[in-house]
Structure 1
Amino acid sequence: MTVENPLGRLDDDDYPAYTMGRAAEMLGTTPGFLRAIGEARLITPLRSQGGHRRYSRYQLKIAARARELVDQGTPVEAACRIVILEDQLEEAKRINEELRRSAAETHPEDPAP
């Protein structure tokens, strides 16, 4: 029988470890800001059994980027859209790189572009 280490979740960027109050404090913002970016569907916090919002480190990174844009004068809705597009671009770059590597392994004689 294997016993799972409960502290192992602390290393998981997707584990919803932070309450709304703590997340807002860490970001130097308000719970209202977190609600606003949730309503804009930038992040969707998990809910505790009691219905309280819980945020992961990954979600806090995204929220921090949105806050940076808002602090520069970008409206919340636009900031959320920008962050989503940036995330999609990074994912597309990652996929392209994987495809290039795969193609190079399959056809090593072809010159790289």
Structure 2
Amino acid sequence: MKTNVMLLALIAALVAVSSARELQQAATTGRVTFFDNGDYSGGGQAFEANVPATGCGDCKNLNFVRTNSWESYTSNAGTTLHLYDGHFCTGKDSGELPAKQGKIQGSLSDSVDSFRICA
């Protein structure tokens, strides 16, 4: 009986340590700012999104009523970004873009409607 209690206490301690590590690796919030011009100027608008410890964060839907004309972006988090021309990360995908900053190429320069930040 005493051995079972000690075993349960050991398991509880291991679970507590594991939970603490998961909290340390929890997602943070990053910010992506989109700009009207290709040189990171013009009417910019910033959006926040989750950045996980690994992989890609949840889709950030931008809820546009009309088409935008963003041509560049900057970000303060993550390693890469994925831009999409459809709501809820659907449609044309930019593929992996460098998260720090970049120019939005092709048809996406007229219609980024959602994005993900990846670790």
Counting strand residues as a fraction of each chain, which structure ranks higher? 2
The TM-score, its normalising length taken from structure 2, stands at 0.20
Counting helix residues as a fraction of each chain, which structure ranks higher? 1
The TM-score, its normalising length taken from structure 1, stands at 0.20
Q: Which structure is higher in RCO with an 8 Å CA cutoff and minimum separation 6?
A: 2
